[in-house]
Amino acid sequence: MDKYIINGGKPLYGEIEISGAKNAAVAVIPAALIVEGVCRIENIPQISDTDMLLTILSEMGAEVRYINRSTVEIDCTDIRADGAPYDLMRKIRASYYLIGAMLGRFGYAKTTMPGGCNFGVRPIDQHIKGMTALGATAEIKGGFVYAQAPEGKLIGSKIYLDKISVGATMNTMIAAVKARGKTTIENAAREPHIVDLANFLNSMGADIRGAGTDTIKIYGVESLHGGTYAIIPDQIEAGTYMAAVAATGGEVRIKNVIPKHLDCISAKLREMGVDVDEYEDSVVVRRTSPLHRANVKTQPYPGFPTDMQPQISTVLCIADGTSVVTEGVWDNRYKYISELKKMGAEVQVDGKTAVIEGVPYLTGAPVLACDLRAGAAVCIAGLCARGETVVEDVIYIERGYEDFVGKLRSIGADIRIETEPDSIEIAAPVIV
Ligand code: EPU
């Protein structure tokens, strides 16, 4: 298993290019299943989550062709419902989008339950609510989800989500695209990737209106056609490097971003004394003075993203004063705090709240990447710490960050990958 070795304390300078958004790509790829024709998808991030989804489609009979590093053509003309590779599905959270996609395409779905859970219970009851509102029968049995549309066709309906859920919103959208009549999703999530999925489907002939608001209307169409679509830049990847510069000091231009999507992150960093200048498709992050304390509460978009909570909390560990972080989305997303404490962070966690007493500096230590964003957070801690940090279980980081080490090295970070050739490869745990 690979480890990252980080020698901290070096400010970051230069330019960095952001890849396509993971959480958009992991919905767009399964959504290609309902398209009859060739979907050419650009700006796909090179991460193991997208690789796994493309492999799943390919094993189901899709033709998947890489045009270049980030462009893939997917042709699902000959895809089969019975070819689903369940062992692969079990490894990835976003395989839940295959429920909506298979129901929409075949009128029938059998998928595995998306696996294990790193930050509390991750139910899919709202996904099931969406499918049943569209007329499907759905049952979870023996680790599988079975769903069946009446006479093979879903029927448009009105759905009020009890909880704002990114996954349930996108899954219901995918399922409803070819349903008979109109579907309305109320209390829908509004994240940029929801809009991206709607734009992808609309560019293939769907009729989805209102994505990005809390009411989404989907007018069912008979069929979708092929086309070309480019995934939006990754808000969280950009935010992670912004946090890294805030932690280490220095000045970095973060390119290929939509600055509007970064507003909540930029505003919080400014509150902490970091300069963030916005340009048309880049932001420049500069930190030359000590960091100030701040309070952070994570919320669905346009609130501060939960997927940035570990990274911003890490920066607050070295800010002046006491900060309070409240996790408003997940029940348990503070496992990484015990790793930060090994590096000298002073943090008390009580339920969904973390109280952080800023310390003058962190000290390098051996730490674990507990999950994707937690892994990015301990790397940020390592980058600003005094001495050497060894990060293990980096497989989590590689599920969601394209060329994480290469990009950091390009802006002056002293980070390298150490491979242990004799170690036994353990299957990637589920979730991101
Ligand atoms: N929830 C339910 N029932 C459901 C679905 C969700 O109660 O049927 C609850 C969850 O337990 C949670 C809240 O609703 O408390 C929000 O969950 P949501 O469904 O929005 O999360 P998700 O779709 O499973 C996606 C991202 C996560 C990100 C969340 C929130 C993907 C593959 N994952 O998960 O991303 O944290 O939205 O923005 O898109 C990450 O990238 O690191 C990551 C974990």
Q: Give the model confidence (pLDDT) of 186-236 as tens digits.
A: 999 999 999 999 999 999 999 999 999 999 999 999 999 999 999 999 999
Whether 171 and 261 map to the same domain: the answer is: no
| pLDDT tens-digit map of 25-35 | 999 999 999 99
Neighbours of 181 (CB within 10 A): 13
Q: Best of 23, 48, 336 to mutate for ligand 1, by most ligand atoms within 8 A of CB?
A: 23
- Which residue has its alpha carbon closest to ligand 1 atom 28? 307
Please provide the average confidence, as pLDDT, over all residues in the chain: 94
Q: Give the atom of ligand 1 at the shortest distance from the alpha carbon of 128.
A: 8
Whether 337 and 370 map to the same domain: the answer is: yes
Hey, is 213 helix, strand or coil?
Answer: strand
- Which residue has its alpha carbon closest to ligand 1 atom 11? 122
CATH code of the domain covering residue 382: 3.65.10.10
Note the pLDDT of residue 83: 82
Residue 389 within a domain? yes
Which of 171, 203, 230 lies at the terminal end of a domain, its last residue?
Answer: 230
Residue 428 within a domain? no
Whether 138 and 263 map to the same domain: the answer is: no
Note the pLDDT of residue 432: 41
Whether 299 and 202 map to the same domain: the answer is: no
Tell me which residues have their CB closer than 6 angstroms to ligand 1.
23, 26, 93-94, 121-127, 163, 165-168, 189, 306-307, 329-330, 372-373, 400, 432
Residue 296 within a domain? yes
Note the pLDDT of residue 307: 97
Cα–Cα distance for residue pair 240/378, rounded to 1 Å: 11
Which of 176, 204, 230 lies at the terminal end of a domain, its last residue?
Answer: 230
Whether 237 and 256 map to the same domain: the answer is: yes
Q: Is the pLDDT of residue 117 over 70?
A: no
Neighbours of 179 (CB within 10 A): 24
Which residues are known catalytic residues? 117
Q: Is the pLDDT of residue 119 over 80?
A: no
- More reliable by pLDDT, 147 or 120: 147
Q: Give the atom of ligand 1 at the shortest distance from the alpha carbon of 431.
A: 44
CA–centroid distance, residue 174 to ligand 1 (Å): 17
- Tokens representing 30 are 């399964």
Degrees (nearest 5) of the Cα angle 123, 124, 129?
130
Which of 204, 230, 256 lies at the terminal end of a domain, its last residue?
Answer: 230
Strands (E) located in 136-261: 137-141, 144-148, 158-160, 182-186, 207-209, 215-219, 227-230, 250-255
Cα-atom radius of gyration of the chain, to the nearest Å?
A: 21
- Which residue has its alpha carbon closest to ligand 1 atom 27? 432
Note the pLDDT of residue 114: 81
Whether 210 and 247 map to the same domain: the answer is: no
CA–centroid distance, residue 127 to ligand 1 (Å): 11
Among 58-67, 77-86, 100-109, 234-243, the range scoring the smallest mean pLDDT is: 77-86
- Which residue has its alpha carbon closest to ligand 1 atom 24? 167
Whether 208 and 63 map to the same domain: the answer is: yes
Q: Determine the structural domain holding residue 340 and report its residue range.
A: 2-18+233-419
CA–centroid distance, residue 300 to ligand 1 (Å): 10
pTM for the predicted model, two decimal places? 0.96
